[in-house]
Structure 1
Amino acid sequence: MEKLLKSLNKVLFWISVSSMAVMLVLIFLQVITRYIFNHTFEWSEELARFLFVWVVFLGSALIMGEGGHLAVQLLPRKFAGTPLGHAMNLFINACSYAFILLLLIQGSKMTSVMTFQTAPGLGISMSWVYAVIPLSACLMMLYLIRDTVEIFRKMRSTEDPQDAAANADALSVSEPASKNDE
């Protein structure tokens, strides 16, 4: 599963990077053709805007997969490895599940509503533009499931903090001195 998610991260990264490059070229060409040749392509601004929407949502899923979303970690770090810390992380994930589920449901509704509306410059169905919302929600859900499973693994493997401290003391007493300590 982890290999699949790492491969997915690479795919999302390269889709985002290439979409940003295409956006940059489109906007640059639009400026050049408008101010130098006094001609505009109606579709270029629209395509750049639609690519931006896709980059934002796919990039959001990518960042979630890499654990890079902005978060306040004061309390979860203070209680890391404790039952309270695990409970906080599970609560944070439960809130994330609620938001992502809302994003998935509303994004799916919006995609289906926009099926018969076409983009004026490109002539494509607007559902192609909005399809990234439920797609990215599914990707985020996949990453969140992975993170939740990891929390449960940590909960299962976490020892009582007093036992862990006693084991650490026992190890430090029984270990021979290293050559660097001499």
Structure 2
Amino acid sequence: MKKIYIDDLISCTFLSFTIIIVILNVGMRYFFNSPIKSAEEIATICFIWSVFVGGASCYRKKMHMGIDILTQTLPKKFKNYVELLINIIVMLMNGAFFCLSLKFTIISRVKPTAVLGISSMYVNSSLIIGFGLIFIYSILEILKNIKTILGKKGDENV
């Protein structure tokens, strides 16, 4: 049975809601000349969640676009070190973004959204989850890189 990851489930669910809400709103506007008042805001909130949590899912699956020119020109033994360096940079950056998103979300809890009037904290929580997951996934990648480097070094000494 295939594993279902929570980040995939969240991002796919919110992307599906975004599409359904937009299609419903277009249909209501076209056929009944009466759009759903809060549809744009709901679709935007769902899209924000799908983007940030989906970004974490892409990072976990190594689906982000990258520039491989540097790693293609390097010898194989240096590729692992470059990957390790990249993952350390990603971890540090997303750790910083995670901390900033925590502060931002706490500040935004008193600001209501324009149409629904709910706390912006519910929208901005996607930042915390997205950056937090990428931070965790990057730590796991760093551990894999270290195991690969140490494993290859151990094989070279034999």
Interval containing the TM-score (normalised by the shorter chain): 0.7 to 0.9
Give 1:79's match in structure 2, choosing from 75, 82, 85. 75
2:94 counterpart of 1:100: yes
Could you tell me which runs of 5 or more consecutive residues in structure 2 were left unpaired when the two chains were aligned.
none
Greater shift, 31-40 or 107-116, is seen at 31-40
Amino acid at match of 1:132: S
CA distance in 2, matches of 1:156, 1:101: 25
Q: Name the SS of the counterpart of 1:39 in structure 2.
A: coil
Give 1:147's match in structure 2, choosing from 141, 148, 153. 141
Give 1:130's match in structure 2, choosing from 119, 124, 129. 124
Q: 1:38 Cα shift?
A: 1.9
Partner of 2:65: 70
CA gap of 1:106–1:26, structure 2 versus 1, over 3 A, is same
Q: 1:135 Cα shift?
A: 1.2
Partner of 1:175: none
Q: Which structure's relative contact order is higher, taking Cα pairs within 8 Å and 6+ residues apart?
A: 2
Partner of 2:50: 55
Partner of 1:35: 30
Q: Is the 8 A contact 2:22 2:43 kept in 1?
A: yes
Aligned length: 156
CA distance in 2, matches of 1:105, 1:48: 26
User: Taking structure 1 as the reference length, what is the TM-score of the superposition?
Assistant: 0.77
Q: Which runs of 4+ in 1 moved over 4 A?
A: none
Amino acid at match of 1:30: N
Could you tell me which runs of 5 or more consecutive residues in structure 1 were left unpaired when the two chains were aligned.
1-5, 168-182
CA gap of 1:37–1:70, structure 2 versus 1, over 3 A, is same
CA gap of 1:36–1:73, structure 2 versus 1, over 3 A, is same
Aligned CA-pair RMSD: 2.2
Q: Write out per-residue CA displacement over residues 83-124 of structure 1, whole angstroms, 9 at most, x where no aligned residue.
A: x33332222122212220221122112101110111132221
Structure (1 or 2) with the larger CA radius of gyration: 1
Q: Write out per-residue CA displacement over residues 53-80 of structure 1, whole angstroms, 9 at most, x where no aligned residue.
A: 0000011000111111111223334333
Q: Write out per-residue CA displacement over residues 125-178 of structure 1, whole angstroms, 9 at most, x where no aligned residue.
A: 0011001111111111111011100111011111489x59xx9xxxxxxxxxxx
